[in-house]
Amino acid sequence: MTRTYLKRACKTPATDAGDVRETVEAILADIEAGGDAAALRYAAEFDRYEGDVILSRAEIAAARAQVPEQLRRDIAFAHDNVRRFAEAQLGTLRDVEVEIRPGLVAGQRAMPVTTAGCYAPGGRYSHVASAIMTVTTAKVAGVRNILACSPPRPGIGIAPAIVYAADLCGADRIVAMGGVQGIAAMTFGLFGLPKADILVGPGNQFVAEAKRILFGRVGIDMFAGPTDSLILADATADPEVVAVDLVSQAEHGYNSPVWLVTDDRALAEAVMARVPALIDALPDLNRDNARAAWRDYAEVILCPDREAMAATSDAYAPEHLTVQAADLDWWLEKLTCYGSLFLGEETTVSFGDKASGTNHVLPTSRAARYTGGLSVHKYMKIVTWQRSTREGCRDVAEATARISRLEGMEGHARAADIRLAKYFPGEAFDLRGAD
């Protein structure tokens, strides 16, 4: 398959990643050993905050009072959309019971974890939407204890809009602590918190690494890298809209890849010509992020046809995938590897990031090849059970005994033997393994 790179990345998040593992491991070990006092020490150092860690109802009410009415309505609108979609997802899960053999019944139950730790970034940007996405889905899933954690600002605390969103969406405790220390507080059950069974939500490289290290002791939503986005566009696309959408995602961070894949050279060249001016028009911090991301990580790929475009997209397995091309149903059927798909100019990744209802906690770094994003399913345990009559277990016990002896697992075989001897006394069974 022929691909022509009109712009090729000189860096990738993988080759440019810093080694933060040792730092994070040391902090986690120190906090686990030192408990609350150690976590507070790191909070004072990194968050530069020495206020209350667990927000009281009075503090939550005070934060609510600082949120303008229109923003409250916008947060409620987004929460309602995310809740509706999450409820629809929950409806796809059902308990199952099936008679495998006469007298042998097996089943499946879907049940939520007990405690979820939901992290909402609050460093460069106040990620109100992350609080909505993580807390709402946990609530709909039926999680009993929902912890919302976000970095406080020096001398101020958590951004009031994040506090308001977390409370509205159903958080039981709101934790004013950021970074590794915040993740540690939820994992180790510091400050009287219940220990988290799962950690969810985006964060910087230190938060991501803490989740990676702790995975196994707790569940996590996914291993996260820098956010990435790909746009598939043909000659019917509006170059201005495509360029704006690319820049909107590049502002996430200096190492956030954005990719344009097209079969129309004129469109590609028009987009590339427009992007620099759009970046220059952004506010300072956003401009610096977008400029570095476009310069070092962005790619523009020219393909011979839409089949090649789709194959290229699946190879990149983007976190966010936008299609601005004719015949949207064809693309919906054809594409297989993405975190979330946005079909047509009338939708955009920004809608999904903030308010349209699908979740914005999504697989990065090509993880969309094997997993989807955060949903009610991430909080659910699919467990199995079985029940049998004595007659129903006869054939299973015989097969188990023979397979076990073939494997050399005599103890397993005898667990089957004793049941056959008890339930069917005097009957002869051939329970030898194969020679």
* Tens-place pLDDT, residues 101-110: 999 999 999 9
Half-sphere exposure for 17 (CA within 13 Å, toward CB): 15
Same domain, 132 and 187: yes
Query: 99 lies in a domain?
Result: yes
Identify the pLDDT of residue 2: 84
Of the candidates 172, 192, 221, which is a domain's last residue?
Answer: 221
Same domain, 157 and 302: no
Query: 5 lies in a domain?
Result: no
Same domain, 104 and 167: yes
Give the pLDDT means over successive 10-residue stretches in the chain (435 positions).
Answer: 90 71 96 98 94 96 97 98 98 96 96 98 85 98 98 92 98 97 98 98 94 97 94 98 98 96 98 98 94 98 98 98 98 98 98 97 96 96 96 96 95 96 93 73
Per the prediction, the chain carries an average pLDDT of: 95
Q: What angle is formed at CA 60 by the lines to CA 57 and CA 65, rounded to 5 degrees? A: 125
CATH classification at residue 215: 3.40.50.1980
| Those residues with Cβ within 8 angstroms of residue 385's Cβ, 6 or more apart along the chain or in another chain | 106, 107, 108, 109
The tokens describing 58, both together, are: 């009075």
Same domain, 214 and 230: no
The tokens describing 373, both together, are: 């994003």
**Cα–Cα dist 157/43, whole Å:** 12
Of the candidates 221, 249, 264, which is a domain's last residue?
Answer: 221
Beta bridge partners of 218: 215
Q: Which residue has the tokens 């909505």?
A: 132
What are the Cα distances from residue 156, in Å, to 51, 69, 185?
A: 8, 21, 20
Domains identified in the chain, total number: 3
Same domain, 28 and 177: yes
Query: 10 lies in a domain?
Result: no
Of the candidates 339, 372, 405, which is a domain's last residue?
Answer: 372
Same domain, 131 and 65: yes
Same domain, 140 and 47: yes
Altogether, the residues listed in the chain come to a count of 435
Query: 336 lies in a domain?
Result: yes
Same domain, 316 and 395: no
Which residues carry out catalysis? 319-320
Please give the residue range of the domain that contains residue 191: 21-221
Query: 293 lies in a domain?
Result: yes
Same domain, 347 and 253: yes
What are the Cα distances from residue 434, in Å, to 224, 256, 396, 397, 399?
A: 48, 58, 17, 16, 12
Same domain, 350 and 405: no
Identify the pLDDT of residue 435: 58
Look at residues 307, 322, 361 and name the one whose alpha carbon lies nearest to residue 230: 322
Query: 331 lies in a domain?
Result: yes
HEC-encoded secondary structure of the chain: CCCEEEECCCCCHHHHCCCCHHHHHHHHHHHHHHHHHHHHHHHHHHHCCCCCCECCHHHHHHHHHCCCHHHHHHHHHHHHHHHHHHHHHHCCCCCEEEEEECCEEEEEEEEECCEEEEECCCCCCCCHHHHHHHHHHHHHHCCCEEEEEECCECCCECCHHHHHHHHHHCCCEEEECCHHHHHHHHHHCHHHCCCCCEEECCCCHHHHHHHHHHECCEEECCCCCCCCEEEEECCCCCHHHHHHHHHHHHCCCCCCCEEEEECCHHHHHHHHHHHHHHHHCCCHHHHHHHHHHHHHCCEEEECCCHHHHHHHHHHHCCCEEEEECCCHHHHHHHCCCCCEEEECCCCCHHHHHHCCCCCCCCCCCCHHHCCCCCCHHHHEEEEEEEEECCCCCHHHHHHHHHHHHHHCCHHHHHHHHHHHHHHCCCCCCCCCCCC
Query: 384 lies in a domain?
Result: no
Same domain, 88 and 102: yes
Query: 6 lies in a domain?
Result: no
Same domain, 209 and 235: no
